[in-house]
């Protein structure tokens, strides 16, 4: 295997994966409501600083000739595909000093997004004197088997090589290659990931402890699977945060669903709703609009960050006083909330969260194969109309699309889930599980210390806040959270260096 220097000709846009009920031509898991699982939201995809990519001469891009299949020995398994990774050497203390490597495990997006959005590595690189490595996940961005996204994503046969075990093995191969390339045999590796990438980071530490000495798993819902389903789900937190922000806002949103259904059932009702909400295309049914609004509220809560704090903006618009002599109707208030969040546009694309991009097509496969997260609208999720998760319908619809059934129990079988605390108390070590309790995915996260070295850091924050770039307005608790994570990683490196020294003295 070898790598070659490579620079991207263009920077693909970042798309947030929203796993809610997709259009009929894409996916329609209407009984199994899913939410986005990424570090950054769809509605901020245009705010990344392109200069972070274009001006960093110290960041080198490479191609690694990756094995298609790491686990079988058929002729097909030896097929190669071009997988991207990047290396930033500017802070590294060098191989002779056994200086560490911080490795970011790419999630369901292009690596270019990670370089623009993830600040933890770059901001802490000088402190650790670390070599920084970023890796792109197979079947995302430019790392497409079979030569193109069209071929890689065309059917279940092509995507059969697309799972978390293969992805982790990809990262293992690249990291060993990097250590060899930079003669960094004894440089300890710490893997970092957020959201789905956070799950990968935790699992990598458990599966490849000989490669990574520790993992920072931010907002990683590793317990949100069959057999380990949390008592309260994703939409319970969405409901809780909006109700906490404004009881009136909560009540109005809750009433709006029935009002949308009532209007839609009337003659020309869908046309009225399309005009009311300035949709870019005519609505096919009330579900189109409700699904769009569902995604707006869920994304706003999941990424409820400064300086905008979108939940406050939405509720402020929904609760705003009517002009004198006029009375705001309920749907008008709901639309005002949409405008407050997305901005003033000539029209609003109700499919903006579920466009059939390559990233979304790729994640559709992952969520219809092994990453089956049982998220629905339960009775306690009072912001919404009740629509519980239905595994039978989910399996049936996934099977109709791909001809193969999901394996909802496989994640817990392969990585462990049941009795997670008991097993990892003795088996695992050196993992930080960080979660913001205002993040709906925190319900599936590890929220309590498992041992002295598998620790949980909880804040009141939202999704993956500790990984994104710092700002001068960061709250004190976020500053302290990042400092605590750095201190823990320092201890891992220190212990590793001590062990290395002791073992060398005994040779």
The pLDDT of residue 12 is 27
Taking residue 257's Cβ as centre, other Cβ atoms within 10 Å add up to: 18
Catalytic residue among 137, 250, 377, 463: 463
Is 463 catalytic? The answer is yes
Query: What per-residue confidence (pLDDT) applies to 338?
Result: 98
Burial letters 264-278, b for 16+ CB under 10 A, else e? beeeebbeebbebbe
User: Quick one: which of 42, 16, 19 has its CA closest to 32?
Assistant: 19
**pLDDT (0 to 100) of residue 354:** 85
Element (H, E) at 391: helix 391-402
Backbone Cα Rg of the chain: 23
* Residue-level pLDDT at 324: 61
| Residue 327 in tokens | 């009375």
Burial code (b: 16+ CB inside 10 Å, e: under 16) for 208-220 equals beebbbbbbbbbb
pLDDT of residue 19: 36
Residue 18 has pLDDT above 50, yes or no: no
- Rounded Cα distance, 198 and 212, in Å: 14
Average pLDDT, the chain: 90
Q: How far apart are CA 494 and CA 129, in angstroms?
A: 13
Q: Which range has the worst mean pLDDT, 38-47, 264-273, 331-340, 406-415?
A: 38-47
Name the DSSP class of 312.
H
Distance CA 282, CA 347 (A): 11
Q: Which of 187-191, 260-264, 274-278, 470-474 has the lowest mean pLDDT?
A: 470-474
d(CA 294, CA 36): 11
Give the pLDDT of residue 435. Answer: 98
Residue 439: active-site member: yes
Predicted confidence (pLDDT) per residue in 131-154, tens digit: 999 999 999 999 999 999 999 999
pLDDT of residue 504: 80
Give the pLDDT band of residue 54 (cuts 50, 70, 90).
very low
Within 8 A by CB and 6+ apart from 259, the residues are 330, 331
Whole-model pTM: value is: 0.92
Q: What is the pLDDT of residue 202?
A: 98
**Alpha-helix runs per DSSP H in 147-195:** 149-152, 156-159, 164-181
**Mean predicted confidence (pLDDT) in 231-259:** 97
Per-residue DSSP letter, 343: -
pLDDT of residue 41: 82
Contact 223, 445 (CB under 8 A): yes
Q: Which of 45-49, 311-315, 353-357 has the lowest mean pLDDT?
A: 45-49
Task: Tell me the CA distances in angstroms from 39 to 169, 329, 337, one per residue in order.
Answer: 22, 35, 23
Q: What's the CA gap between 222 and 442, in Å, rounded?
A: 10
What pLDDT digit, counting tens, does each position of 345-395 carry? 999 999 998 888 999 999 999 999 999 999 999 999 999 999 999 999 999
Q: Say which of 3, 20, 32, 195 is annotated catalytic.
A: 195
Kindly state the percentage of the chain with pLDDT values over 90: 83
| Confidence at 467, pLDDT banded by 50, 70, 90 | very high
Mean pLDDT score, 309-319 = 97
Residue 299 CA to residue 238 CA, distance in Å, equals: 9
Tell me if residue 319 is catalytic. no
Task: Out of 439, 442, 462, 466, pick the active-site residue.
Answer: 439
């Amino acid at each position: 295997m070898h790598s070659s220097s490579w620079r991207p000709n263009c920077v693909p846009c970042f798309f947030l994966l929203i796993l809610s009920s997709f259009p009929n031509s894409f996916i329609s898991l209407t009984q199994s409501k899913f939410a986005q699982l990424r570090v950054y939201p769809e509605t901020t995809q245009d705010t990344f600083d392109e200069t972070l990519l274009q001006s960093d001469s110290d960041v080198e891009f490479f191609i690694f000739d990756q094995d298609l299949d790491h686990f079988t020995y058929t002729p097909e398994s030896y097929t190669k595909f071009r997988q991207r990774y990047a290396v930033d050497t500017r802070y590294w203390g060098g191989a002779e000093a056994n200086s560490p490597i911080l490795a970011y495990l790419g999630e369901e997006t292009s690596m270019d997004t990670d370089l623009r959005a993830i600040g933890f590595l770059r901001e802490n690189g000088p402190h650790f004197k670390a070599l920084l490595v970023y890796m792109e996940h197979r079947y995302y961005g430019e790392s497409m088997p079979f030569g193109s996204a069209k071929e890689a994503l065309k059917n279940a046969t092509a995507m059969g090589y697309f799972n978390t075990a293969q992805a982790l093995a990809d990262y293992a191969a690249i990291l060993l290659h990097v250590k060899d390339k930079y003669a960094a045999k004894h440089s300890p590796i710490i893997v970092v990931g957020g959201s789905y990438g956070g799950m990968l980071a935790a699992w990598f530490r458990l599966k490849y402890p000989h490669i990574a000495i520790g993992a920072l798993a931010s907002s990683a819902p590793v317990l949100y699977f069959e057999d380990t389903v949390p008592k309260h789900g994703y939409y319970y937190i969405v409901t809780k945060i909006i109700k906490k922000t404004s009881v009136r806002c909560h009540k109005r949103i809750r009433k709006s669903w029935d009002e949308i259904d009532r209007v839609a059932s009337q003659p020309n009702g869908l046309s009225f709703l399309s005009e009311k909400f300035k949709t870019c295309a005519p609505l096919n049914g009330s579900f189109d609009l409700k699904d769009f609004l569902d995604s707006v509220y869920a994304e706003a809560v999941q990424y409820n960050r400064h300086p905008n704090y979108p939940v406050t903006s939405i509720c402020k618009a929904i609760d705003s006083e009517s002009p004198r002599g006029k009375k705001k109707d309920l749907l008008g208030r709901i639309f005002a909330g949409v405008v407050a969040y997305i901005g003033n546009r000539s029209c609003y694309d109700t499919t903006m969260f579920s466009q059939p991009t390559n990233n979304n097509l790729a994640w559709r496969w992952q969520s219809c194969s092994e990453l089956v997260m049982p998220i629905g609208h339960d009775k306690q999720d009072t912001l919404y109309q009740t629509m519980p998760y239905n595994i039978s319908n989910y399996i049936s619809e996934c099977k109709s699309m791909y001809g193969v059934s999901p394996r909802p129990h496989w994640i817990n079988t392969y990585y462990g889930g049941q009795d997670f605390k008991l097993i990892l108390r003795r088996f695992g070590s050196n993992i930080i599980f960080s979660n913001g309790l205002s993040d709906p995915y925190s319900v599936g996260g590890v929220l309590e210390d498992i041992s002295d070295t598998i620790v949980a850091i909880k804040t009141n924050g939202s999704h993956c806040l500790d990984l994104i770039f710092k700002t001068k307005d960061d709250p004190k608790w976020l500053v302290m959270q990042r400092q605590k994570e750095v201190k823990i990683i320092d201890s891992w490196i220190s212990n590793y260096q001590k062990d290395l020294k002791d073992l060398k003295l005994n040779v």
